[in-house]
Amino acid sequence: MATPMTPDEWLRALRAEGVTDIVEMPGWRTNNRNHVGLWGPVHATMIHHTAGEGPGLPKMCFDGTPQLPGPLCHDYLDRTGRLYLVGSGRANHAGTVAENAYRAVLNESSVHPAPDAAEPIDGNRGSYGLECENSGKPGREWTARQYDVAVRVQAARCRHHGWSADSVWAHKEATRRKPVAPRLDMGDFRADVAERLAHAPGWNPDEEDEDMPKRSNPKVKATLARPGGEWLTVPLTGGLVTGPADYSGTVFLRLSGVPAGASIQARYVETRDGKRSKTGPLVEHAGTSGDTFIGVTNAGGHVDSAAALAVEYIVFDADTHGLVGGQAQLLYWK
């Protein structure tokens, strides 16, 4: 969960991500519903479709309707790929949402379950909303430009907050009130957001120099009460390095509850079909008073075909400990 972006931060993030066709609607910076409910902390970014099309939709999203006051989203994306900045703050876009759907994006789960019937969560408080022009009729595809900008918009939100692509959800994934149309596969959409997050902001696939490395900064997920005396894989989410690829870089880990002087070993590991397929050289560390910080570095590794890069470690002389978190800084060449 995070502090909501300011209007200036949002503009900088969009431009850095390569979104250039932007319309700042007059008054968007203060257009919100903060006076009727809480806004933030935020934990997700939602994508919607309008169920209608036409030039009057940006104004409707800004003003709202007699039944539902605006803003009805934070950003409106038309079929040409033009992005309208509609509001900054609480917006009437999500309504109430199912708790299981909320927990999935809150915990950045790779599994997004069908929403429960009960909807006890205020979705407008903790989620950004992107409204996309699409009638939802059968056969009405998203334009290539519109889809590309939608991916960039959601990646910009995630990149700013350090979220993985699993913080992106669709309105249809949060409530049973919405139909499944338009036929946007959210698994594919999140994969495209994750691919963009694996590169520097502004990355364009068709302009990529194959001799230049790609950047990957997968998120290290905190887990408590981890057992000592056995090899433990570090849960990484988003931006994973998959083979065949050469790589270099470091994964930093922060551990709690490790006795001072306790022996710690760590190494890179490759997994294939969920099983360890190859391990890298061991790195030795010792526990310290307070939290213990360790780094796993490889300046010239290779990931085999169909394998994924991960990190594992073992703590001796401790019954349990906690993985507080960490940061990955990796470069790889396909």
- Closest by CA to 115, choosing from 134, 95, 142, is 95
Q: List residues bridging with 134 in a β-sheet.
A: 52
Element (H, E) at 314: strand 308-315
Q: Which amino acid is at 130?
A: L
Of the three residues 170, 186, 207, the one that is the final residue of a domain is 207
User: Do 192 and 286 reside in the same domain of the chain?
Assistant: no
One pLDDT digit (tens) per residue for the chain, 334 residues: 699 999 999 999 999 999 999 999 999 999 999 999 999 999 999 999 998 899 999 999 999 999 999 999 999 999 999 999 999 999 999 999 999 999 999 999 999 999 999 999 999 999 999 999 998 888 788 899 999 999 999 999 999 999 999 999 999 999 998 765 556 889 999 999 999 999 989 888 765 555 567 777 777 888 888 999 999 888 777 667 777 888 888 888 999 999 999 999 999 888 887 788 888 888 899 999 889 989 888 777 788 887 888 889 999 988 899 998 888 888 877 6
Q: Do 141 and 222 share a structural domain?
A: no
Asked if the structure places residue 54 within a domain, the reply is: yes
Boundary (domain end) residue, out of 207, 242, 267 = 207
Claim to verify: residue 138 and residue 162 sit in the same structural domain? yes
pLDDT tens digits for range 227-284: 999 998 887 776 677 778 888 888 889 999 999 999 999 998 888 877 888 888 888 9
Q: How far is CA 321 from the centre of its chain?
A: 27
Residues 25 and 161 in one domain: yes
Q: What residue has token string 């988003």?
A: 238
Nearest-angstrom CA–CA distance, 188 and 203: 18
**End-to-end alpha carbon distance in the chain:** 33
Judgement on whether residues 21 and 141 belong to the same structural domain of the protein: yes
Any domain includes 2: no
66 falls within a domain = yes
Same domain, 197 and 222: no
Residue 201 sits in a domain of what CATH number? 3.40.80.10
Residue numbers of the domain that contains 153: 7-207
What tokens does 217 get? 């900064």
Two tokens, residue 264: 């710690």
Statement to judge: residues 186 and 297 lie in one domain: no
- Helix pair 144-161, 186-197: axis angle to 10 deg: 60
Residues 147, 284: one domain?
no
Note whether 50 and 116 are within 8 A (CB). Answer: no
Rounded-to-integer distance, Cα 95 and Cα 293, Å: 42
DSSP single-letter state for residue 304 = P
Considering the domain architecture, whether residues 105 and 195 belong to the same structural domain is answered as: yes
Within 10 A of 119 (CB to CB), how many other CB atoms are there?
Answer: 19
Out of 190, 207, 224, pick the residue that ends a domain. Answer: 207
How far apart (Å, rounded) are the C-alpha atoms in residues 42 and 128?
Answer: 7
HSE-CB at 176 with a 13 A cutoff on CA atoms is 9
How many domains in the chain?
2
> Do 269 and 154 fall into the same domain?
no
302: domain CATH number is: 2.60.120.1340
- Cβ atoms of 19 and 149 within 8 Å: the answer is yes
Same domain, 79 and 193: yes
Is there a single domain that holds both residue 24 and residue 163? yes
Residue 40 counted as domain residue: yes
Contact 123, 102 (CB under 8 A): yes
* Rounded Cα distance, 83 and 18, in Å: 12
Domain contains 59:
yes
Q: Assess if residue 1 is contained within a domain.
A: no
